Amino acid sequence: MQRAILHVDMDAFYASVEQRDDPRLRGKPVAVGGALRRGVVCAASYEARPFGVRSAMPMARALRLCPQLLVVPPDFAKYSKVSDQIFEIFNAFTPEVEGLSLDEAFLDVTRSQVLLGTPLQQARGIKDRVRRETQLTASVGIAEVKFAAKIASDLGKPDGLVEVPVGQVREFLAPLPASRLWGVGPKTNDELQRLGLRKIGDVARADRVYLEARLGSLGPWLHDLANGIDLREVEPDTQAKSVGAEETFADDLEGEELLPFIHEQALRVGARLRRAGVRARSVHLKVKYADFRIQTRQETLPLPTDDGGEIYRIAARLLTKMEARPVRLTGVHAGDLGDEVAQLGLFDQGRKKRDRLNQSLDAIAEKFGDGAVLPADLLAARKK
């Protein structure tokens, strides 16, 4: 049976969720992102894109391009819950789902054709269920290989569905710009242009040995992709490798000024771990200084944890091992994840109490929102 791979990508995911939940944002240019002076655009609605607003753009530049831009702070807890809904839909069609982010995945539907129909029928079914159950739209690409499926979904956005005919991957790719090949950044694209290789078809027809001589090991890889050769399998997710939360500040902060933000990030990480039913054996702290230099520290735990308070205490300790300089970003990450439950000692009542407290806090957050109960330092920080 011919391999059939879908690439499903939600359309302007963060911005679309915000527009869905707030009627005042619908039909207007929206950017989801951080503080206006220092933040970056996490997602831009399709209404914002004609102005040149794009993801990863500095928010200040986005506002210059589109003064009427409506900026919404990100709510990753909400996006994570919507993502869970979407991935439940994916897994209803096939267990072979490789998540790339909260809103993007490869699905191998080769074996599910017997029960659920052709790849095109399954793609339509996924789009219909996503729209019906989340009120959001997704774009889907169908091909025999991952690379072509990804390209196909991009070409159909928004709310698109593009199928590459069986046996025609090379022909489908040929007229597209060579810059669309995976691994081609600005420098490599400039080199391809100098070599006269402007289209993917040009790369496909080029001599493989010549490409290797000019581009090194990247040359044969690009030659294979251009010819529709991509042997990578869809690798189903067993579990995330890490869970993290980061924030870029409006103004540089130093020392103890950072602690409330690190505390909030640690609590978000703990809540995500508990929702996923996993615990972490390592905690990582990341800081980006005012000069954009990044430094990280990590600590391995004697017992795995999903407790945000414990993660915060470790992250705060790691902060003391960092350079005391102005900081523009902090991030707390939990790694080495597993579903192992720590073995409790007979007298370890403290850990039991924390587990019960976390269960209560999770229930309150589920009902009233993530900010319903806050530690004193976070409450004070929010009042400033």
Q: List domains and CATH numbers for the chain.
A: 13-76 (3.40.1170.60), 170-226 (1.10.150.20), 242-383 (3.30.1490.100)
Between CA 111 and CA 10 the distance in angstroms is 24
What are residue 332's DSSP bridge partners? Answer: 245, 285
Contact 199, 177 (CB under 8 A): yes
Q: Among 73-77, 280-284, 294-298, name the one with the lowest average pLDDT.
A: 73-77
Long-range contacts of 20-29 (CB under 8 A, 24+ apart): 20/134, 20/135, 20/136, 21/78, 22/72, 25/70, 25/72, 28/68, 28/70, 29/53, 29/66, 29/68, 29/69, 29/70
Q: Is the dihedral of CA 188, 42, 266, 276 positive or negative?
A: negative
Q: Among 97-101, 180-184, 289-293, 358-362, name the one with the lowest average pLDDT.
A: 358-362
The enclosing H or E element of 302 equals strand 294-305
Picking from 25, 76, 64, the residue whose alpha carbon sits closest to that of residue 46 is: 25
Alpha-carbon torsion angle 158, 161, 166, 168, nearest 10: -30
Residues in the chain: 384
Q: Look up 104 and say whether it is catalytic.
A: yes
Please give the full DSSP string across 62-115, using - where no structure is assigned: HHHH-TTPEEE---HHHHHHHHHHHHHHHHHH-S-EEEEETTEEEEE-STTHHH
Phi-psi region of 66 (alpha: psi -120 to 50; beta: other; left: phi over 0): beta
Question: What pLDDT is stored for residue 58 in this prediction?
Answer: 86
Tally Cβ neighbours within 10 Å of residue 247. Answer: 19
How far is the first Cα of the chain from the last one, in angstroms, to the nearest whole number?
A: 62
Average pLDDT, the chain: 86
Contact 140, 118 (CB under 8 A): no
Write down the catalytic residue from 98, 104, 247, 264: 104
- Return the biggest CA–CA distance within the chain: 73
The 10s digit of each residue's pLDDT in 138-154 is 999 999 999 999 999 99
Question: What pLDDT is stored for residue 350 in this prediction?
Answer: 54
Q: What is the pTM of this model?
A: 0.68
The 10s digit of each residue's pLDDT in 91-135 is 999 999 988 877 899 999 999 998 899 999 999 999 999 999 999
Q: What is the mean pLDDT of residues 267-283?
A: 86
Question: What pLDDT is stored for residue 57 in this prediction?
Answer: 84
The enclosing H or E element of 246 equals strand 242-253
Alpha-carbon torsion angle 142, 144, 147, 151, nearest 10: -30
Between CA 303 and CA 301 the distance in angstroms is 5
Question: What pLDDT is stored for residue 39 in this prediction?
Answer: 74
